[in-house]
Chains A and B, each alone.
Chain A
């Protein structure tokens, strides 16, 4: 057989049938479900009078629309009646079809893209889908993981397959050691700044090179998570010893003989040395400084030592002017002169234990700057929260003036009460700086957990290496 990329191998291994239009039916191993994009899909199943194809492939949890405080009463305690109906609808569907479920009161509940890996529900070689664009996160394990729409959620429930066209192959190579306090978040933001938000459209991205190999699993998840912000529906890293060590012992991961058998297969999951990529980029780790977005698209990003660019330096003038108007910024403003109102540490991009450790290390013994009106830490899952509390991280956050919350998507998209007020400016570890995303007329600057912690102390952006 000719040389293949990792993506080619995963595609071939799950290819069920070719359809008349040239698209394919791809077998799905893991289907993650949450409350926002599933109710209409379950309704569709009932209209057809069919049952889910393979219940053991499904795991459900509420995350997008849940409050992050006062959760003692579970879904019954949700004060917003419309949110409550959506969460209860998920509970009813779970009950009806007897699905694996982590309810609001379960310590395993959390953001779908945090709990999948944490529970060993995400494994190398799998196909993973979810009605959420950040499903690309799971590619960190050498899985083919894609966000899908609600019609596709229904299709996967009904057939265990996704209709897909094969994507082109892109590889992004990064070599070298990252500079001090520069993390996977800065790497992905840097990449988006380089290739643009449509740069990866139509491609699967494989991330490779020594910089990537040296990332922890948490870092690889952060990196793959934002592939969609570069336009790619899926991104991946070939599994290695770091991956296998992370998986071993996880509740849903194979154990004993089964683990060894799986490992034999997982080791083969890498691109062949002479595999051909349709597009390839190479960067050096030394190019990557702490990143901050200044606009309303993730590609509107600069290094912390830069200024908000002049119009002539940005290609899309119309978008640029709208973005700066919305953000209340002037060209030429130093990023370090931008002061902040809120800090958000959380989201499927940056709410894992490593993220919280990094932020806590910087915050230790420090307090929020006076101009910071509110700072939230929202752990990615109940278990991340528990682990952080065992390590005493929560005390560091609380002593610094942060609010220590329960798990959920929270202010990444502001479907729950955690939102920015009008024109408030936020340093956020989330993934999208779109208009209104974190709250009506709210202004989002995307940064790493380290940069968010540093900004919390200074009340403005600062190069975290100077703290």
Chain B
């Protein structure tokens, strides 16, 4: 039975590029923050504005790049981003995920993801969803900048619905459970405390030079 996850579904934006790196998602000047929030206005800063952004600046007065899809009013409430191959490559900065989340993106659909970015998504409640090249191409081809369209995601059954198409996607059960139930990873790992301690004791005996 179709069970749409409203949280991960909605209107989408396309960024028809490969190798979108984390320096583009959130440029370095914004990494000076010591918080996890407040990055949304600077998501894709270099592409979104016509000037160089600074961290302590009001974004409302800045000149925007009207040609960039994130500035199109039809799409400012989008919660899905669709892009090409190797999305999120480069720096390990989790600020990239925090910026997408702050902007309102809940699902990133791509042909493939860089490993560190992929992990960072799930740790912040974002769904990183991999489709085949042909499926991504179909979404890109039908994307129209003059009207917002929707994608529905059935997380439980792992199906993405777009128009008349149904695309199955892979996702491991634990990541799915984390998204659905908001599991606390550190809390879950701390349940292994006895095992970690016993491993550590044995490991130290074998490798004493690694301990002070």
A interface residues, Cβ below 8 angstroms from B: 16-17, 19-23, 25, 27, 29, 36-37, 39-40, 43-44, 48, 53-54, 56, 64-65, 80, 82-83, 85-86, 89, 123, 125-126, 131-133, 147-152, 154-155, 158-161, 163, 197-198, 201-202, 228, 231, 233, 254, 258-259, 261-262, 265, 297, 299, 316, 318-319, 322, 413-415, 432, 434-437, 440-441
Task: Compute how far the CA of A254 lies from the CA of B208 in the bound complex, rounded to whole angstroms.
Answer: 9
Contact B36 A160 (CB under 8 A): no
Known A-B contacts A133-B91, A149-B119; the reply to A40 vs B35 at CB < 8 A is yes
Task: Compute how far the CA of A319 lies from the CA of B83 in the bound complex, rounded to whole angstroms.
Answer: 12
Closest to A154 in B: B186
Known A-B contacts A436-B27, A437-B23; the reply to A48 vs B186 at CB < 8 A is yes
Contact A82 B185 (CB under 8 A): no
Task: Compute how far the CA of A322 lies from the CA of B21 in the bound complex, rounded to whole angstroms.
Answer: 14
Task: Compute how far the CA of A132 lies from the CA of B107 in the bound complex, rounded to whole angstroms.
Answer: 24
CB-defined interface of B24-47 with A at 8 Å, one 1/0 digit per residue? 100111011111100000000010
Contact A133 B172 (CB under 8 A): no
Instruction: Sort A-B residue pairs by CB-CB distance and give the 3 closest, nearest first.
Output: A21-B174, A254-B209, A56-B212
Contact A435 B123 (CB under 8 A): no
Which residues of chain B are near A39, meaning CB under 8 Å?
Answer: 34
Contact A197 B19 (CB under 8 A): yes
Contact B32 A83 (CB under 8 A): yes
Interface core residue of B27, B34, B199 (most chain A CB under 10 Å): B34
Task: Compute how far the CA of A421 lies from the CA of B21 in the bound complex, rounded to whole angstroms.
Answer: 21
Chain A CB within 8 A of B210 CB: yes
Contact B93 A37 (CB under 8 A): yes
Chain A CB within 8 A of B18 CB: yes
B interface residues, tally (CB under 8 Å): 61
Which residues of chain B are near A48, meaning CB under 8 Å?
Answer: 186
- Contacts A/B (CB < 8 Å), 20 sampled: A19-B174, A21-B175, A40-B35, A82-B56, A126-B210, A133-B116, A147-B116, A149-B94, A152-B119, A155-B186, A159-B193, A161-B196, A197-B89, A259-B209, A319-B18, A413-B23, A435-B24, A436-B24, A436-B27, A440-B46
Closest to B190 in A: A159
Which residues of chain A are near B211, meaning CB under 8 Å?
Answer: 56
Known A-B contacts A148-B116, A161-B189, A414-B28; the reply to A29 vs B210 at CB < 8 A is yes
Residue in A22, A23, A27, A228 whose CB lies within 8 Å of B203? A27
Residue in A16, A20, A133 whose CB lies within 8 Å of B196? A16
Residue in B19, B94, B173, B192 whose CB lies within 8 Å of A150? B94
B interface residues, Cβ below 8 angstroms from A: 16-19, 21, 23-24, 27-29, 31-36, 46, 52, 55-56, 85-86, 89-94, 97, 112, 114-116, 119-120, 123-124, 172-175, 177, 185-186, 188-190, 192-193, 195-196, 199-200, 203, 206-212
Contact A21 B86 (CB under 8 A): no
Which residues of chain A are near B173, meaning CB under 8 Å?
Answer: 21
Task: Compute how far the CA of A54 lies from the CA of B192 in the bound complex, rounded to whole angstroms.
Answer: 16
Task: Compute how far the CA of A154 lies from the CA of B124 in the bound complex, rounded to whole angstroms.
Answer: 13
Contact A319 B19 (CB under 8 A): yes
Contact B23 A432 (CB under 8 A): yes
Closest to B211 in A: A56
Which residues of chain A are near B24, meaning CB under 8 Å?
Answer: 434-436
Contact B192 A16 (CB under 8 A): yes
State the Cβ distance, B34 to closest chain A Cβ, in Å: 4
Contact A415 B28 (CB under 8 A): yes
Which residues of chain A are near B208, meaning CB under 8 Å?
Answer: 258, 261
Task: Compute how far the CA of A125 lies from the CA of B203 in the bound complex, rounded to whole angstroms.
Answer: 12
Task: Compute how far the CA of A435 lies from the CA of B46 in the bound complex, rounded to whole angstroms.
Answer: 8
Known A-B contacts A37-B94, A40-B34; the reply to A231 vs B86 at CB < 8 A is yes
Contact A434 B21 (CB under 8 A): yes
Contact B86 A432 (CB under 8 A): no
Task: Compute how far the CA of A131 lies from the CA of B174 in the bound complex, rounded to whole angstroms.
Answer: 23
Closest to B193 in A: A159
Task: Compute how far the CA of A25 lies from the CA of B206 in the bound complex, rounded to whole angstroms.
Answer: 19
Interface core residue of B52, B120, B186 (most chain A CB under 10 Å): B186
Which residues of chain B are near A56, meaning CB under 8 Å?
Answer: 211-212
Which residues of chain B are near A254, meaning CB under 8 Å?
Answer: 209
Contact A149 B200 (CB under 8 A): no
State the Cβ distance, B52 to closest chain A Cβ, in Å: 4
Which residues of chain B are near A123, meaning CB under 8 Å?
Answer: 209-210
Closest to B16 in A: A318
Contact B195 A16 (CB under 8 A): yes
State the Cβ distance, B189 to closest chain A Cβ, in Å: 5
State the Cβ distance, A134 to closest chain B Cβ, in Å: 9
Task: Compute how far the CA of A87 lies from the CA of B203 in the bound complex, rounded to whole angstroms.
Answer: 34
State the Cβ distance, B174 to closest chain A Cβ, in Å: 3
Task: Compute how far the CA of A147 lies from the CA of B172 in the bound complex, rounded to whole angstroms.
Answer: 22
Task: Compute how far the CA of A381 lies from the CA of B55 in the bound complex, rounded to whole angstroms.
Answer: 28
Contact B23 A233 (CB under 8 A): no
Task: Compute how far the CA of A59 lies from the CA of B46 in the bound complex, rounded to whole angstroms.
Answer: 34
Task: Compute how far the CA of A22 lies from the CA of B92 in the bound complex, rounded to whole angstroms.
Answer: 23
Known A-B contacts A16-B199, A23-B174, A27-B196; the reply to A319 vs B17 at CB < 8 A is yes
